[in-house]
Structure 1
Amino acid sequence: MKRTILHVAVIGAISMGLSATAFATDGYQLVGIGQYAMGMGGAVVAAPDDPLSAAISNPAGLADMTPQAAFSAEIFNPTRKTNFGFGEIGSHSNIYGVPAIGWVAPAFGDGIVFGGGVYGTSGLGVNYIQPNTQLGTVQAYSSITFMQMAPSMAMKVNHHLSVGASLNIAAEQGSFQQTIGHTSPGGMGPNGPYPPSTSYTGLNLASPSWAYGVGLTLGALYKVNSMVTLGFTYKSPIIFTPMTWQETGEVAGSLSNPVTGGPGQYSGHLNYPQQVALGLAIRPIPQWLISVEGQWINWHATMDNFNIYGPSWSNGASSVALPLHWNNQWVANIGTQYNVNKWLQVRAGYTYGSNPISNANTASNLIFPAVVQNAVTFGSTQKLGMGWKLTEAYMHSFANTISGTSPYYPYASENASATLAENSFGLQVGYDF
């Protein structure tokens, strides 16, 4: 029985993703930073409007802004369900806060500005416990928190072209676990009675570990005329230091070939993917903005395999790969804004992102359910006078489910599945100096 538990926990450990708060549509990346970008459905590469949307999405937009600052606070509410093969259960953590602050000011002469900010930009996570299965208690936990600081420079080359760059300085915290706890009954031994005992098998890297990385964003805006603007952004990969965990031992590998590791330090790299985005903004009339955007995210380069390096792996290798097998993602965004009068703007948006996780890889991503594809957003801004403005936004990502063979097959009675839906509510305060 213990060997059966070991084998099942090993294959279950491969369904580890990593984790955090299940942010938005684009893998584990927010649709937009700040409430203007969220209300526009993330379609701001050709139409950045504040320091939050510009520094992250297209730093060239800072060159067209007056000195200002903005603070955003967002409540993120994902609903996550999974089925390990023993019945569907829900996650125990559902409310998260997402802060952001940004600014822009003149620097180094005419047409050159300095800006940037500090942002919560992405994350994912679940917390599942399923007791009383025939194999024991399944415990699955994941958390990735991703924060970014983006000092930025931008300049107007001429009255048509603006360019900009951001240095992406990032910190991420990661922890994850998928184990089975099996309780052996007590009994009578040669030295008298002994109590029940519980043993755990599977990967358990649940102690939070920090890593730090750096990357670069390059952007350009080209105003064709008063009605049409083109936008372009390239984000390089953010390369991180390894996350590390001190553990007494681990189990990984496959059902047919479990691999154990001895006590010591375990580590793994989780880099952030490169991205390219193109945008088009059109103003049919001065008070009406329509913005569309296409984006490519290179998840396959960072989320194909998560390699766990550790001491004394029983197969003699220096690392064991957890096969997440994410695909690259294509994202389409559209947003529109209408100036009702001098103090009120209203906006709405829609975003679609191809699912980076296929049904065939369900078992490897049960605690990494970045599977939503369609989201709608709504927002507004009120200009309060004396430089102050208030912006609100709401987002709803429609539920999506992937399904496939359980990682605990043939012991599970059902297929595995992962379901995710999301809501977010945000409020942003801005001040023009």
Structure 2
Amino acid sequence: MKNSQILGIAVGATLAVGLSVSAFATDGYQLIGIGQYAMGMAGAVVAAPDDPLSAAMSNPAGLALMTPQAAFSAEIFNPVRKTNLGFGEIGSHTNVYGIPAIGWVAPAFAKNWVFGGGVYGTSGLGVNYLQNLAPNPQMPMGGYAQAYSSISFMQMAPSVAWKVNDRLAVGASLNIAAEQGSFQQTLTQYVPTSFGPLPATGGLNLSTPSWAYGVGATLGVLYKVNDMVTLGATYKSPIMFTPMTWQAGQQNQVNPATGNGVMGAPGQYSGHLNYPQQIALGMAIRPVRRWLISVEGQWINWHNTMNNFNIYGPWTAYQGGSAVGGASSIALPMHWSNQWVANFGTQYDVNNWLQVRAGYTWGSNPISNNTIASNLIFPAIVQNAITFGATQKLGMGWKLTEAYMHEFSNTNTGPAGSSPFGGPMPASATMYENSYGLQVGYDF
């Protein structure tokens, strides 16, 4: 067997670039909500923003209804991920992440105009898998697989809002974002030599972190129908990023069984990962003054950003083990579907200093069982979450807000024969999440 074939494995068919993120407490890889008020309401805040964090990210029109204030949020996010590469289930070695956020709102240049915004960790995730592989027809002497991904998104959202009249407010945010990504999915197999079995490694290895920068916009509107009902709507444009670039060694995408695929020479590799456009509509109802009920529906256009991830570089195509010409890029097929999300949140003012809240969110799964083998290092598959939260008004303008989120376990299992490394079991991914957050606010 040729060395190029020994080193090769069809990673392109099994790599789900763990490049995203949001996610944290996630719809896909996007946060359910920014800040602990939004988290406690399960993200149902487009018609009921209550602080600079929830407004600037979910509906900037809400800033126009707020007094000058600032808020700082710190959240511990605990996603638990497991996968089966075909040889038994294993867990990821990284399960704890921190999510910071800070926001503010202040009077602007004219009456009924305000300026606000903030800096947020908006999404991100990663996995770190290592699995020993038993001998099989593709690897007679066995080997091991490494799957690693890390992605983080930070966003700054300077915003302006205008209270048009007692019923209508409008707002806009400029979304300035930075993303950092690195990933690896390699196979090491032991091959016979005159010196005994020696390891030979192939696959994709773009594990040096790379940064990219992007820009987009959010437009929002709030309309107060009457003292009981408020309607809200937002449109978020795609965030278009510069390419991430990596200086990397040889990349091997040649299938050892057929000799077909591509091989990359040492050099520079690059790829774009944009953030999806989305639409949200919401309604907030106050049956009585102390009780708030908020519902929201979202559409997230994952298909346009997470269908294929194209990696550009010095690729050479192979057929039957022989080079047949150059290739400018390869497409890693993730094939995400667009996502529909429903959010429900409620808040009750117990007294003048204590508010309690709870929520539920459901999101359609953007990854199907048929495509889970292509998304094992980014298993954004959770669908159902419950949240709880509270706010205490401490006096002299200070307030403290806490929230807890639990996203229930979900498993995607591929069809028979979907193991990326020829194992006897089908590929699968399992994920559940918890988050714990604390937020401090101050009204000026």
Normalized against structure 1, the TM-score is what? 0.95
Quick one: structure 1 residues 147 and 35, their matched pair in 2 at CA, closer, same or farther if it must change by over 3 Å?
same
Quick one: structure 1 residues 43 and 327, their matched pair in 2 at CA, closer, same or farther if it must change by over 3 Å?
same
- Partner in structure 1 of residue 370 of structure 2: 360
**Residues 225-271 of structure 1: per-residue CA shift (max 9 Å, x gap):** 11100000000000000000111221237675321111210000000
CA distance in 2, matches of 1:306, 1:409: 18
Q: Is the 8 A contact 2:280 2:299 kept in 1?
A: yes
The reply to whether residue 338 of structure 1 matches residue 345 of structure 2 is: no
- Residue 7 (structure 1) shift: 4.5
CA distance in 1, matches of 2:13, 2:87: 13
- Residue 181 (structure 1) shift: 1.4
1:72-151 mapped onto 2 (5 Å cutoff): 72-134=73-135, 135=139, 136-151=143-158
**Please, what is the CA RMSD of the aligned residues?**
1.8
- Residue 11 (structure 1) shift: 5.0
Unaligned runs of 5+ in 2: 318-324
- Residue 408 (structure 1) shift: 4.1
- Partner in structure 2 of residue 304 of structure 1: 307
The reply to whether residue 427 of structure 1 matches residue 438 of structure 2 is: yes
- Partner in structure 2 of residue 174 of structure 1: 181
CA distance in 2, matches of 1:323, 1:354: 20
CA distance in 2, matches of 1:209, 1:340: 48
- Residue 317 (structure 1) shift: 2.3
CA distance in 2, matches of 1:107, 1:122: 29
Q: Is the 8 A contact 1:181 1:201 kept in 2?
A: yes
- Residue 282 (structure 1) shift: 0.3
Match of 1:311, SS? strand
Moved more, 57-66 or 173-182: 173-182
- Partner in structure 2 of residue 400 of structure 1: 410
CA distance in 1, matches of 2:266, 2:284: 56
CA distance in 2, matches of 1:253, 1:113: 57
Quick one: structure 1 residues 84 and 161, their matched pair in 2 at CA, closer, same or farther if it must change by over 3 Å?
same
CA distance in 1, matches of 2:402, 2:437: 6
- Partner in structure 2 of residue 374 of structure 1: 384
Moved more, 173-182 or 276-285: 173-182
Q: Is the 8 A contact 2:52 2:105 kept in 1?
A: yes
CA distance in 1, matches of 2:421, 2:144: 17
Match of 1:153, SS? strand
**Residues 158-199 of structure 1: per-residue CA shift (max 9 Å, x gap):** 1110000000000000011100112346645xxxxxx86432
CA distance in 2, matches of 1:105, 1:248: 50
- Residue 364 (structure 1) shift: 0.3
1:214-229 mapped onto 2 (5 Å cutoff): 214-229=215-230
Structure 1: which amino acid aligns with 2:211? W
Q: Is the 8 A contact 2:12 2:333 kept in 1?
A: no
CA distance in 1, matches of 2:210, 2:220: 32
- Partner in structure 1 of residue 401 of structure 2: 391
Q: 2:297 aligns with which of 286, 294, 297?
A: 294
CA distance in 1, matches of 2:331, 2:145: 22
Structure 1: which amino acid aligns with 2:171? G
CA distance in 2, matches of 1:74, 1:125: 17
1:320-335 mapped onto 2 (5 Å cutoff): 320-335=330-345
Percent identity, aligned pairs only?
Answer: 73
Q: Is the 8 A contact 2:419 2:426 kept in 1?
A: no
CA distance in 2, matches of 1:410, 1:210: 31
Quick one: structure 1 residues 14 and 258, their matched pair in 2 at CA, closer, same or farther if it must change by over 3 Å?
farther
CA distance in 2, matches of 1:277, 1:394: 23
Q: Is the 8 A contact 1:236 1:274 kept in 2?
A: yes
The reply to whether residue 268 of structure 1 matches residue 274 of structure 2 is: no
**Residues 2-40 of structure 1: per-residue CA shift (max 9 Å, x gap):** 566545353565344435684123000000000000000
**Residues 40-99 of structure 1: per-residue CA shift (max 9 Å, x gap):** 010000000000000000000000000000000000001100000011000000011000
CA distance in 1, matches of 2:24, 2:277: 18
- Residue 124 (structure 1) shift: 1.7
Quick one: structure 1 residues 19 and 206, their matched pair in 2 at CA, closer, same or farther if it must change by over 3 Å?
farther
Structure 1: which amino acid aligns with 2:433? E
CA distance in 2, matches of 1:340, 1:145: 38
- Residue 409 (structure 1) shift: 5.6
CA distance in 1, matches of 2:18, 2:118: 29
Match of 2:344, SS? strand
Structure 2: which amino acid aligns with 1:72? S
Match of 1:363, SS? helix
Quick one: structure 1 residues 175 and 115, their matched pair in 2 at CA, closer, same or farther if it must change by over 3 Å?
same
Quick one: structure 1 residues 16 and 209, their matched pair in 2 at CA, closer, same or farther if it must change by over 3 Å?
same
CA distance in 2, matches of 1:404, 1:13: 12
